[in-house]
Chains A and B, each alone.
Chain A
Amino acid sequence: MATTPRIGVVTFPGSLDDRDAARAVRAAGAEAVPLWHGDAELRGVDAVVLPGGFSYGDYLRAGAIARFSPVVNEIVSAASRGLPVLGICNGFQVLCESGLLPGALIRNAGLHFVCRDQRLRVESVTTRWTSDYDEGAEIVIPVKHGEGRYVADQATVDALEADGRVAVRYLDNPNGATNDIAGIRNESGNVVGLMPHPEHAIDPLTGPSTDGLTMFGSVLGALVSA
């Protein structure tokens, strides 16, 4: 009998979506383990979610201060050993600032904060967080951000495209992101960051779809079969 997988959800000062992320983790069938930004330990979790919000008030740059928090130091070293890590919105920004993922998220083209149900295409299913999707699947997940425009130097973008490391792509780009990139993965596929919010699309009562639940279910499948 397999034990229930434990997925950590980090709370920074200014996190907003940690409760929804924990709810999504439970809906997928795992135990949600709260992780505090100031704690230099991961409590033995099997995977980690960095949720959306405005960690440390987005001071300096979104994610720039959170990157230096004790818990993120632990996550960076654990990710290099294969721990599955999902960064959502502000969590994606933290992953880019920490160097776990390349590039950066900057102010939306047009400057407007965008909040809407967003159509996406799943481009890479060889990650710990997208393995249960069909490759090329079109899904609907909310976006809500002012600084979600993915940019990187041309060599990095070319490498992402050549290696299939674009995880999800916008079908109608809300922020001017390079190559319509909504989310990317690292080389080994355990780290995924994306601007849209899968935790807000797990229940037809409160979201536009249940497409986001598959992301949390994907990592569980890998953990249970491991």
Chain B
Amino acid sequence: MARVIVDVMPKPEILDPQGQAIVRALPGLGFEGVTSVRQGKRFEIEIDGGDPAAIARQAAEALLANPAIEDFTVHLDG
């Protein structure tokens, strides 16, 4: 059983209002010096057999990420 991680992030040119809200909230909690937050999604996928990284990449292209607004990376866990 392979465990594959797919990280999906908004493209750099896409405004991330959730990240902006978080970066504005942090100073009020005492976190100084935080200049940027981008919020994305992480998928932990367990795959039995085949080429797990290739399968996860195809799944990311087909469903997990929307190429119009998001980039993704795939890596094997462990």
Interface residues of A, Cβ cutoff 8 Å to B: 60-61, 64, 68, 96-97, 102-104, 106-111, 151-153, 176
Q: How far is the CB of A100 from chain B (nearest CB, A)?
A: 13
Interface hub of A106, A107, A108, A109 (most chain B Cβ within 10 A): A106
Q: Are B17 and A64 in contact (CB under 8 A)?
A: no
B30 → A minimal CB distance (Å):
23
Complexed CA–CA distance, A60 and B8 (Å): 11
In whole angstroms, what is the CA distance A110 to B20 when docked? 9
A104-B63 contact, Cβ under 8 Å, with A109-B15, A110-B17: no
Known: A60-B63, A64-B63. A104 touches B18 (CB 8 A): no
Q: Would you call B66 and A97 a contact (CB within 8 A)?
A: yes
Given A109-B15, A110-B17; A103-B63 close (CB under 8 Å): no
Q: Which residues of B contact A104 (CB under 8 A)?
A: 66, 68-69
In whole angstroms, what is the CA distance A176 to B16 when docked?
12
B18 to chain A, nearest CB (A): 6
* Contact B15–A176 (Cβ < 8 Å): yes
Residue of A with least CB distance to B67: A104
Chain B residues closer than 8 Å to A97, beta-carbon distance: 66
Chain A interface mostly: loop
A105 shortest CB reach to chain B, Å = 9
CB distance from B9 to the nearest CB of A (A): 13
Once bound together, how far apart are the Cα atoms of A111 and B13, in whole Å? 18
Q: Which of B1-46 contact A (CB under 8 A)?
A: 10, 13-15, 17-18, 21
A60 touches B64 (CB 8 A): yes
What are 19 residue pairs bridging A and B, where the CB atoms are less than 8 Å apart in the complex? A60-B63, A60-B64, A64-B63, A68-B63, A102-B68, A103-B68, A104-B68, A104-B69, A106-B15, A107-B17, A108-B17, A109-B17, A110-B17, A111-B18, A151-B15, A151-B68, A151-B69, A153-B13, A176-B15
Q: How far is the CA of A156 from the CA of B41 in the complex (A)?
A: 25
12 further A-B contacts with Cβ under 8 Å, apart from A60-B63, A96-B68, A151-B68, are A102-B68, A103-B68, A106-B10, A106-B15, A107-B17, A108-B17, A109-B17, A110-B17, A111-B18, A111-B21, A151-B69, A176-B15
Given the complex of chains A and B, what is the CA–CA distance between A111 and B18 in angstroms?
7
Are B66 and A64 closer than 8 Å at their CB atoms?
A: yes
Q: How far is the CA of A151 from the CA of B70 in the complex (A)?
A: 12
Contact in complex: B63, A106 (CB < 8 Å): no
Closest to A176 in B: B15
Nearest Cβ on chain B to A40's Cβ, whole angstroms: 19
B16 to chain A, nearest CB (A): 8
Would you give the shortest CB distance from B69 to chain A, in whole angstroms? 5
